[in-house]
Each structure stands twice: as C-alpha cells, then as structure tokens.
Structure 1
Amino acid sequence: MMEHAFRLGIDAGGTFTDFVIANRASGDVKLFKALSTPSDPTKAIENGLKQIADSLGTTPSAIVSDCDLCINGTTVGLNALITHRGGKTGLICTAGHEDSIEIRNGHKEDGYRYDPEYPAATMLVPRYLRRGVRERVLSDGSVRTPMQEEDVRQACRLFLEEKVETVAISFVWSVLNPGHERRAAEIVREMMPEAILTVGSELYPQIREYTRTSTAVTNAYLAPVMRRYVTAVDRYFRDLGAKQPVRYFQSNGGLAVGQVMTDRSVYAINSGPASAPQAGLYVGAPFGKENVITVDMGGTSFDITLTRNGQTNLNKNVDFLRYRVGVPMIQVETLGAGGGSIGWIDSLGLLQVGPQSAGSEPGPACYGRGGTDPTTSDANLVLGYLNPEGLLGGKLPLDVAKARGAIARIAGPLGISIEQAAYGMFTIVNSGMVNGIRRVSVERGYDPRDFVLVGAGGATAAHITALAREMGIDTIILPKLASGLCAFGQIISDVKYNYMATAPLRLDNEGACEKIDTLFGEIEAQGVRHLETDGFASERIAIKRSLEMRYVGQVHECTVDIDNFRIDETTIDKVKDAFHARHEELYTYCERHNPVEVVNIESTLYGLIEKPKPPRLEGTGSLDLALKGSRPAIFQASGEATSTPVYDGSKLGVGVSVTGPAIIEEVTTTIVIEPGWTATLHESGSYLLTRKD
C-alpha cells in the first residue's frame, strides 16, 4: 500500500489558480479552480484547498498530510520581471565592465534593430549601483591583475547605505578561474550578511561575459521576491502538516525544492507553462502521438510549446522580456491573448484585441466584478459559446447584459452589430494565436500538419477548432483536465537540475578527451550529491549529457546531445559524429574535414519520481442522456446565429461522438466544436477531435 494517497499540483495563473489532486493508487484525478490573489498568493491556495476538502469530505490539513508531493507552479517571478518589482540590486563586476548589461553586445531586439525611437530596456540595476572592481583574469585562466579587495568593500558600504537587498557578482573570465569571484563573495557575506548573493560563475558557468552577467543580475533581482514567496508557501504547508517539502516547478521543465528556487530564481521565470509539454506528451501517449503542439489560453496569456519526437525544445541565451537569460528554459511562445484580453479601437479606427487584460480584478465585464471593458470572454458569451448561467458549474455567474454593453462600446464606433463585433474580436484574437503557432512551427522548419494540437487552459477549448482549421491541423486532443493541464503536468514531472561547465578546447588537442570526461564527472558528482540529499537513491537518478560545439572559426555554437559514456580516444569520434549530424540537421550541411571545438558542457540530472496511475474513465453515457438543450451560437462573420446542441460532458460515455456544430460543457471548460469537426471521448479522459476533408 502506498504511504501517501494523494499528489497535489497547483498552478497559479494571472486570473485563476488551478488545483489538480490525483489519487496515486486509482488514478482518479480531480480539478478545482480558485481566483488568483496576486496580493497574497497563499489566499488562493487556501481557497482551493477548501474546495478540495469540501469535495472529499475532509480537511485541508488531512489532504496535505496525506500527499507524497505538493507541487507549486507560479507566475510570481515572471510578474516581478514584467512589472519591474524585483529587489533593489547591486552589481559587482570587473572595472570597465559596469555598462555591459546596458551595452548588451550592441544588440537590439529583432524587429526593432533599425528603429531609432525604440526605447532602451529598463535596467534592473541602476548605474550608480554597478560597482567596478580592479581585477583581471585572462582567457587562459591566468591572473593578470590581482583583485583589489578594498574595491569590493567600498561597493558593500555603498550597498548598505542604499539598502540594497540582493547582490550579483560577475567578473570577466571567472568561468576559467573563479578565485576572484569567490573571494568577493566572502567579503559580501562578511559585510552584508542579510543580503542575497548571486555568483555568476556558480549560477551560469559558461563563456560569454554579457550573458553570464545579465543572467546573474536577473537572478539577483528576482531572488528577494522568490524568497518571500517560497517562505510564505513553505510555512503555510508546514502549518497544515505537510510531510514533505513543497516542490516548485522550474522553467527547465522539472521540480526543485524551495531553497533552489531562491538560489536560482531565474529558473522561476516561466514556471507555470513549462509543464505543458510534459502534460501534452502524456495525454498524447494513448493515441501514439509524439509530435505535439500544446496551446494554453488562460485569462491573461496564450502559451505555445512544441514537442517533436517526444523531445521539447529548450531555449538558452535568449532575450526574455528584453533581458538576456543564459540558463536553459522550456521554449515557450507567450502572447497577450486570454479570456481577459481587452478589445479596443486603434488610431486608424481598426479593431484590436489585447495585449492588455482585465485579469481577475476586475475581470471581464460579464463577471460582474466592476469590469467595463469588452474582453474575449464577453465576446464568447455574446457569441453563445459560454453558458449564460455561469462558469465553473455555475459558481462564477455570467451577466449577458453587461457583456453586450461592453461589446457595444466598440460596435457603435465601428458601425456594426454587437454580434458582428463579438465575432470580429474572436477572429482577431485567433489570428494572433495562429501567428504564434506559426512562429514555433513553420518559422522553425516544422510543418504544423505533422503535429496534433493539444488544448490546455480554461479558455482554449472555445477557440481550438478555429485555430486548428487555420493551421491545417486535422487532429486535436482535448483532455477533460484541459483547464488545469499545466497543474497536471507538474504532478507527473521529475526533479530536474542543470549543471554546466566551460571547456574551451579543440577535440584534436592532446588531453582534450580526459579534460572533458573529468569535467562531466565533476559536475555530475555535484548533481548526484544534491539529489541524494533530496532523498533519491542512485537507481532513481538519471543523467543526460550535452555539449555546445562548433567548427573552429565559427562564431556561434550548437547544442549536441550525447549518450553517457566515457570520453576517450576510442569514443571521441562518436562525439564528433554527433556534432556533424546535428550541424547538418540545423544548417543542411556539415564539414567533416574541419576541426571541431567544444565551448561548454552541460549535464541534466533527474530525480525520477513515481508517477500516479494513469486515469481511466469508467461508466457509460449516451448522446441523448448528455443533451442539455440548444442555444443560438454564431460561427460566421455576418453575426447570424445557428441553433446549436449543448451537451453535458459529465454524461458522455467513452466512445460517444459529437458532431459539430455543437458545444460540450465541462465543469471548468467549454468545448466549441465548429461545423466539420467530430469529438469522440476516449477512455483516457480526453476528447479526440477530427476534421472531415
């Protein structure tokens, strides 16, 4: 018998906080939602746990104490970066490099490169808090200029005077000789014992000084916010009787304990949507699908991830919200398109939707919480897609009159009917989402028709057949848990840590094999110790290796995955062959006659967690039994309505098919099936939607 009965996943979004609780033995999974409370995230957790307790006839304390894992995905770090509400940060760097984060390698974001009026990015560390230290390490790791310790002490005195709460340290070539950074860190800890400290060569030990410094600064900036959040959540669950520490979801697609999320706060930036690919693969597995595009439309944003052959792309060295971040993150395309996205008329008199959002406070006009702006949810209600009696099984009533009043604010100036304006908003927000899907597929060399579309998020199901139609995709998988799919992805994910090292050397150099093999051994030993301390036995630890490589003379490198084997003279050709193959895959050619060099290495260590039993639907149902009635719904730009059957998803049996136009109402989502589509309920708990030719 399992020691603990449940596993709990919590995904805090901009509008709703999702809760998924799984019975580990039976596979039964339940989904709950509570309005997010940005001012006090633990309040939303409290509200959600109360719903779970009421449903199970027990108490929040009993639930938490009977969970083997309580997992939390959060937008706290992301929101702090968006709103520039991080901690007051100081930077200690090599003298003469105080402005590297502002010069940004002379780079301006794509699309604005030749725009002289594009404003500079807001600096996370103001100029007067960037303090240079006289020191210099050369590219061979030798010390040219010893570090002047008094410079560090002067910086600390200024930081104390200015009430700096978090400090980043990043010196040139510290990845080859971290001695100066380590000594500077000792001085900061001595003089500023309360400050949070980020050391660049420890957080991101990779070549490229600007990327390393920017990553360290971003981490330091977010650390106080994440510390406060983690401290509050950990205390809340301890007080409820949690037997295990809370796990937090990282942007690299794995779990971590709270201390790691404080020390490596930069990994919290995309915490929520990073679990979507894992969940997408999980729901696609019963159908034999490994090419998956997962789309998640919530209240404020639309997130897109692509997984090909079971592997999800990772981003490294990217500009995220205009800040260079080097650490690996699940590649997520995020748009300002959600149920709360606001419709407006621009200076040319054209209808636009988003990226502004009504969020959860005050929310869409139809929520009746004081919102007056027309939103996507208001449009969907006017179009007949949403149940006028309310969402969440009637727990969130909807006001049709207020929705129509909000839409009328744009319909009048445009000289069209309210229904036409609503369909116009629906079409425009879909167009933006289609463009986002193209960016992760077509623009990266993938044909979207080779993929299935997996729906996540509470608002996605109302739009997903329209999105698939526009992309030429003819298969959709839409789980009953769609509105909480990211929370579900958390409870089936493993603990995951990335360890890196710099190894700038040519593979044909003497001793190259031994050095690379030694470095892999060192960083992997560090990771294994970390996971063993976390309670994982050796048989529950897995390791994946990769190298960043290039031809000698190239400027940019590419990441090459390799198997775990001893790297020596007899196996080095396997490494070279893997690089040539990857280079040809990326750029259509390789140069086997040219020498190859390694720039960085990375090992990803997994603490493998036992997965809950897969959910399986039982019981029967029929189309006639599930039919609730019909209501007018609009599927065309003219605004003309069609009488559309509405079905209760809880009364549909396995194998039952619904042909569009139709609407299926689940407790936490509404599925709009356009004409030409058919939805069939599968025993795994997902609807398989297919389109006729």
Structure 2
Amino acid sequence: MRFIVGVDIGGTFTDCVVLDTSADGGVAVKIGKASSTPPDFQSGFVDALRAAATMHGVSLEEMLGDAHVYHGCTVGTNALVEGKTAKVGLLATRGHADATFIMLSGGRLKWMPANYIAHVAKQTKPAALVPRTLCEEIDERITFDGAIAVELNEVHARASIQRLIDAGVEAIAISLIWATANPAHEQRLQHLVREMAPGIFVSISSEVSARVGEYERSVATIINAMIGPPMQHYLAALEVDLATHGYHDKLQIMSCSGGLIDADNARALPVLTIGSGPVAGLIGAANLARTQVGGVNNVVTADVGGTTLDIGTIFAGTPVRRATASHGQYEYFVPTLDVRSVGSGGGSIVHSDGQSLKVGPESAAARPGPICFGRGGTRPTVTDAAAVLGYFDPDYFFGGRIMLDLEPARAALAELGSPFGMDAEATAAAAMRIVNSQMADAIWLTLTQQGYDARDFVLYGFGGGGGLHAAAIARELGMKTAVIPLSDLAAGWSAFGITASDALITESVGLGLGSPFDPATINARLRELEERVLAKLAKQGVAKDAVTLEHHAELRYALQTNQVSVAVEGGVYDGATVGRMVATFEADYERLFGKGSGYAAAGFQLTSLQVRGRAALSAVTLEAIDLESGNSTPEAKTTRVVMWSGERLVTPVYDGSRLPPGSVTSGPAILEFPDTTILVDRDASATIHVSGSVVLTVGAE
C-alpha cells in the first residue's frame, strides 16, 4: 500500500499521521488534526483523515483506497471514565461472587496517592463494578489441577442466566474458580448465554486473562464486558464510514500491550485497547531512543495532550511493562506497557479554592475548550495561560488553522488572580509553574516506583504541549537534556507511534508450580502458547517465518505476595535454564523492592507463563522519514514580547522547519512549527539533531 495511516483519538484533538511511501528519496509524512467529536468519535476520526489527505494533496477516497489504517482506540477508556458502560451481570462459582467486593483488602490502595492512603478515616471503597443483585452463583467446581470436582449444573445455570436477561443486562461476565486450569465450564456457560440471548456480549475469564489470581482475573473479565457493547457499536460505525470512503483493508487496532491486533480481536477483548493511545507514543519513542537521540537510551516520555499527561519509561532501549492495569482502585490482569496518566494537560482548568491557585485535573476538553479558542469556554486553561504569556502567535496556532482571541483569556486570568493581587500575566505564569511542577512530580514518582533515578534519564516531550513544558520539567527533575522527537511530528507522536508498531499477540497460562520446577511442564506449556500465538497472527495475515517470539515468566517467593514478570529463554528447558530464570527473578525483585527483600529459603512459585509474538507490518524505518528539514542560515523570522520567569523580554521567534541539522539556538527563544511550539528558556539551548529532533540542553552557559 502507498499510504500508512495512524490515528489516535485524544480527549481534545484527534491526530492522524499519514506516511506516503511513494515519495522519492524517503517517506513523506503529514499530520492531520481535527477536534475530537464525543460521543461519535468516528466523525472526528474521518475529519482528521480528510485533513491529512489534503496535506498530501490527494482526496480522502484516493488515500483510503491505497492505505493500511492503524488506530489507537480510546472508546473503552472513555466509556469507563464517563460511566457510559454496558449493564453487566456476573456468573461466578458458588461461594466466590464476592471476590470483587472484598478487593484483596488493602490491595485496593495500591494505585492511590500517598495523601489518600495516609488518611485512613477518609478511605472508602469504590462503587461496585457489578451490583450484588446482578451476581449469580453457579453450582460447579474445578480444582487447581484442572480436575472437575463438581459437574456444572446446567438447569440452575440456565435459571441464573435467565434472571440476568430479565434484569436487562447488556453483557455477561463469567469468572469461575480455577478456570485457568480447565476452561470447560466457562466455555459451556458462554455457549448457554449465546443460545439463550444471542445479542448479549459474553466475556469469559479464561479468554480475557488466563492467570492465577481470582480477584484480578474477575475484574479484567467484568471490565471487558462493561466496554464490549460500546466497542462493538463504535467499530461497526467506523468500519461503515471507512468503507463508504473507499477503505476495504483490515482495520488494525493498537493494544495496551504495545502492538496491533485486528478489529475482530478488539471486539472480543476490548480491555486490551484501554490506554492504547499513550502506549503508541511510548512505542515510537522507544524506536527513536535506540538511536540514542539525547545521548542515552534511558528515556522517560511526557506525552502532554489536551486532557492528560501520559508518562512512560524506556530502560536500555526497551519500554517498561507491568503485569497489571488499574481502573480507579480496581486492579486487573492485562499485560501492558507501564504508561501512567495524570490530569495535567493543555486543557486543564486553572481555578482557585479561595486560598491558592490550582490546575486540573478537570479539563475543558474539545468542547468548549480553552477560552482563547472562541468556542464558548469561560474558564481559563493552561493553553490560555501560555497564550497570554506570549508563547503562541495568535495568527499561527496549529499553522493558522485556529485563530486565538487573547483578550477574553486575559480577562478571565486577571479575575482569577485578583484576590491574590496578581494581574493576568502573573496568574498565567503561576499556572504554568504549578502545572510544570505537577508534571515533574508525577514523572519522579513513576520512576521512583520503578526503581530508577530520574537523573539517569533523558526526557522526551511530545503531544500538543510537549515542546512547551519539556525544558521546565527536565530542570525540576535534575535532567540535563530534553528531546522533542522529530520536531513537528511530536504533535502527533502517538499517531506516528501507531504507524511504527508491530502486530503483537500475547497468550498466557496460569500455573501453580512450586520449586523445584519441572522443566517438562514448562516446555509443554510454552509450546502450547507458541502455537496459539502463531495461529492468531496467521488470522491477522502474518506469515509464521515473520514472527519473533518472546517468552516471560511470572514468579514470586513462596511466602511473599509480590509477583514479578521477567523475560526468560524460550528454548527447551532443563535444570540450568530453570536456574537462570530464578536468578533473573531474584535480581529484578531486589531492584524493585530493595536489597534483601526476598526470602529465597522459603522457595519459589511459578504463577504464569507468557508468550508474545510480534511481526512488523511495515518496512518503514525512522531513517526513511523525510521531514523536509531546512538548509538555510538560521535567522529569527520575527520577535515578540514573552514573559520569562516574571520578566518581559523581546524574544526571537524561529521558523523551526527552516533550521538546518546541527544548528544551535540559545535561549531565550521560541521555535515554531506548524503543529508544535518549543520554548527555549534563558538557561537552555536547542540543537537540531540529524533525525530532525530538537535536543534541548538545560542549564546551558
């Protein structure tokens, strides 16, 4: 295909990056942006496609007729955040329907902020994912080794299913004890539901998350059921719209595991798409990090969008993963890249509690948006603050596609700051300091919890606001270098990351093996997982010889609760191979939890094996990307008055696309690209890397 299309839907904008592989001497890349259009996100999707096609000088139909389309889908995430999920009923083994209510006791605090954990009297349990009235207990029992201790009572099961149907559920989650060892009863219940109510979405735990851990597995299954119907509705509508405009290839969907799955897989397992947009940005950053832009391949990413800051970590060129994800206080089993989100972005609302200024987490989103956009917004945002400080050219925002009206924003900021004796500019400067500090704090916490020191990393700032905040965040974290990846492409970096992603299928099996581990059991289970991975990739159109397999094991100390997933060898296991697996686990455990924190004398448990299969869907490399970089003598195109640390300075403004590789710009300065604005503070300098990236050196002489 001539065009490779990546689309990422954010809370404020929908980004579309289109690579034209027919360009002479390289691959031409263009960004199309459009406002997101909730609740019918497919409309904004098509708008962004059309904008990108126009940038390439072709019609939408011409582009889609010769394209692969890859999509970072946020429908599941948005449904959870907005509470617009399906009504779900739960089928559980008798005596086990309360697992999600008990919540592993203190485990519900794992993802909560420190100030919440410290105030014990204020702690509360979240609203139930499924009300107790919609939980049905099933007579059956399978033992830990897969043996059937109690046969499934189909008469009672049918009665339970009928009660849920009569209650008006739109989806049914099925999570039975030890279905990881033997899924037969779950599969039979799934068949009964489809027989009795063909239109109801069914989610079974042995397919969603075949890992030992009843609570986390049940939560994953319920969340999959909650977002199943909205995902099916969205994909059906999107595929109709795409077909109407000439697209007839398979639609590939980004998963939170860091790769692409086909639309059919996304329909069945929509839980895999939660958080997939930010994950795509991390994948793109990892590809660039391997070239060591910025001097090292340890990278922390700051994806600054309109609604959130999304943080990812790349260590030694490889994105950091985690074995679980979370929805509020609920933790669930889904293998995912470790991307964490906080409510700090360009649309974050600046407000006051009467004693101090606050920024976020509430966002103005796409509608009404910042005041300066003129779409009805009345509450000032971070974007309004940046505009008032002079960071943007009001006539050139997004390359002139949006005209900024500064006076209403200035008036709102002045009114907000008046009780504190601050004018509009002082209020805007305070808001920027607050949001930069919040972003830096969130990144520091992420790296610390992963066992890393921020000073060993370089910061990659992307998304619509990455260039505005990167230098300030790096300074607060003690970093010397920040990178704006591929200059203007940073504004649509997550969409670009989608185009650079591989097809990826992950298959897991839950185990309950105690040490010493039996190599024969490990070998048999790994071969089964490999066959399942290859079969699913074949359905995705991937040839067997194009697949690279990766193997992982999850272990824990026998008398301790923390499980750690480690990369392991994938060949034939023997005593020596098992020993190396255990040694890898002990090293990672010590890094995460501290020296001497493991108790090896009690033995080890192998709780899960996992096989990931990946294959490149595109032959495009970073080196082939043509950014149309400048080759002229770097001269400022204009100057304007900008507020820098409370001081108004006449500041040179450069056309970033005309700066040649190797050129160095000292601060204070602003680099403007059509979709990206980069601040070069007074103590910083900006160098144009040969890749087209902008490397900011903080603390420059």
CA-to-partner distance for each residue in 1:61-119, whole Å, 9 max, x for gaps?
Answer: 1101211x201112211111111111111110112222221221223324434533334
CA-to-partner distance for each residue in 1:572-604, whole Å, 9 max, x for gaps?
Answer: 333333333333444424666664331111111
Structure 1 residue 618 displacement after superposition = 5.2
Matches within 5 A, 1:197-212: 197-212=202-217
Work out whether residues 657 and 678 of structure 1, in 8 Å CA contact, stay in contact via their aligned partners in 2: yes
Match of 1:621 in 2: 631
Find 1:366's aligned residue among 369, 372, 378: 372
Gaps of 5+ in 1: none
SS of alignment partner, residue 504 of structure 1: strand
Match of 2:174 in 1: 169
Match of 1:76 in 2: 75
The AA in structure 1 aligned to 2:155 is E
Match of 2:677 in 1: 670
Matches within 5 A, 1:392-407: 392-407=398-413
Tell me the distance in 1 between the aligned counterparts of 2:621 and 2:182. 48
Worse overlay, 540-549 or 279-288 = 279-288
Structure 1 residues 591 and 208: CA distance shift in structure 2, 3 A: closer
Match of 1:14 in 2: 11
Matched, 1:600 2:608: yes
Find 1:330's aligned residue among 333, 337, 347: 337
Work out whether residues 252 and 267 of structure 1, in 8 Å CA contact, stay in contact via their aligned partners in 2: yes
Structure 1 residue 370 displacement after superposition = 0.7
Tell me the distance in 2 between the aligned counterparts of 1:398 and 1:535. 46
SS of alignment partner, residue 316 of structure 1: strand
Report the number of matched residues: 683
Matches within 5 A, 1:86-485: 86-107=85-106, 108-109=108-109, 110=112, 111=114, 112-113=116-117, 114-286=119-291, 287=293, 289-347=296-354, 349-479=355-485, 480=487, 481-485=489-493
Structure 1 residues 426 and 189: CA distance shift in structure 2, 3 A: same
The AA in structure 1 aligned to 2:378 is T
Tell me the distance in 1 between the aligned counterparts of 2:138 and 2:368. 49
Structure 1 residues 40 and 504: CA distance shift in structure 2, 3 A: same
Tell me the distance in 2 between the aligned counterparts of 1:285 and 1:142. 48
Tell me the distance in 1 between the aligned counterparts of 2:188 and 2:357. 58
Tell me the distance in 2 between the aligned counterparts of 1:93 and 1:619. 59
SS of alignment partner, residue 326 of structure 1: strand
The AA in structure 1 aligned to 2:441 is N
Structure 1 residue 263 displacement after superposition = 1.0
Structure 1 residue 571 displacement after superposition = 3.4
SS of alignment partner, residue 86 of structure 2: coil
CA-to-partner distance for each residue in 1:224-257, whole Å, 9 max, x for gaps?
Answer: 1111111122222223222421111111111011
Matches within 5 A, 1:641-660: 641-660=648-667
Structure 1 residue 31 displacement after superposition = 1.3
Tell me the distance in 2 between the aligned counterparts of 1:192 and 1:323. 29
Match of 1:28 in 2: 28
Find 2:549's aligned residue among 498, 518, 543: 543
SS of alignment partner, residue 576 of structure 1: helix
Structure 1 residue 620 displacement after superposition = 4.2
Percent sequence identity is: 33
Match of 1:635 in 2: 644
SS of alignment partner, residue 279 of structure 1: helix
SS of alignment partner, residue 275 of structure 2: coil
The AA in structure 2 aligned to 1:596 is F
Worse overlay, 84-93 or 56-65 = 56-65
CA-to-partner distance for each residue in 1:434-487, whole Å, 9 max, x for gaps?
Answer: 111101213432121211111111112111111111111111111321110100
Structure 1 residue 531 displacement after superposition = 0.8
The AA in structure 2 aligned to 1:42 is Q
Structure 1 residues 268 and 290: CA distance shift in structure 2, 3 A: same
Match of 2:580 in 1: 574
Tell me the distance in 2 between the aligned counterparts of 1:400 and 1:61. 38
Structure 1 residues 418 and 623: CA distance shift in structure 2, 3 A: farther
Worse overlay, 485-494 or 54-63 = 54-63
Structure 1 residue 155 displacement after superposition = 2.0
Tell me the distance in 1 between the aligned counterparts of 2:21 and 2:482. 27
Worse overlay, 16-25 or 141-150 = 141-150
Tell me the distance in 2 between the aligned counterparts of 1:656 and 1:575. 48
What TM-score comes out, normalization by structure 2 length?
0.94
Tell me the distance in 1 between the aligned counterparts of 2:580 and 2:287. 32
Q: What RMSD in Å do the two structures reach over aligned CA positions? A: 1.8
SS of alignment partner, residue 571 of structure 1: helix
Structure 1 residue 318 displacement after superposition = 4.0
Work out whether residues 618 and 683 of structure 1, in 8 Å CA contact, stay in contact via their aligned partners in 2: no
Structure 1 residue 352 displacement after superposition = 0.4
Work out whether residues 616 and 684 of structure 1, in 8 Å CA contact, stay in contact via their aligned partners in 2: no
Work out whether residues 147 and 182 of structure 2, in 8 Å CA contact, stay in contact via their aligned partners in 1: yes
Tell me the distance in 1 between the aligned counterparts of 2:534 and 2:647. 63
Tell me the distance in 1 between the aligned counterparts of 2:437 and 2:591. 31
Work out whether residues 278 and 494 of structure 2, in 8 Å CA contact, stay in contact via their aligned partners in 1: yes
Work out whether residues 173 and 202 of structure 2, in 8 Å CA contact, stay in contact via their aligned partners in 1: yes
Structure 1 residues 12 and 135: CA distance shift in structure 2, 3 A: same
What TM-score comes out, normalization by structure 1 length?
0.95
The AA in structure 1 aligned to 2:66 is D
Work out whether residues 325 and 335 of structure 2, in 8 Å CA contact, stay in contact via their aligned partners in 1: no
Structure 1 residue 186 displacement after superposition = 1.7
Structure 1 residue 676 displacement after superposition = 1.5
SS of alignment partner, residue 223 of structure 1: helix
Matched, 1:533 2:539: yes
Gaps of 5+ in 2: none
Tell me the distance in 2 between the aligned counterparts of 1:361 and 1:493. 31
CA-to-partner distance for each residue in 1:626-661, whole Å, 9 max, x for gaps?
Answer: x2211111111xx33111111111222222221100
Work out whether residues 218 and 323 of structure 1, in 8 Å CA contact, stay in contact via their aligned partners in 2: no
Tell me the distance in 2 between the aligned counterparts of 1:449 and 1:585. 17
The AA in structure 2 aligned to 1:18 is D
Tell me the distance in 2 between the aligned counterparts of 1:285 and 1:180. 46
Structure 1 residues 284 and 582: CA distance shift in structure 2, 3 A: closer
SS of alignment partner, residue 578 of structure 1: helix
Work out whether residues 237 and 246 of structure 1, in 8 Å CA contact, stay in contact via their aligned partners in 2: no
The AA in structure 1 aligned to 2:475 is R
Work out whether residues 17 and 52 of structure 2, in 8 Å CA contact, stay in contact via their aligned partners in 1: no
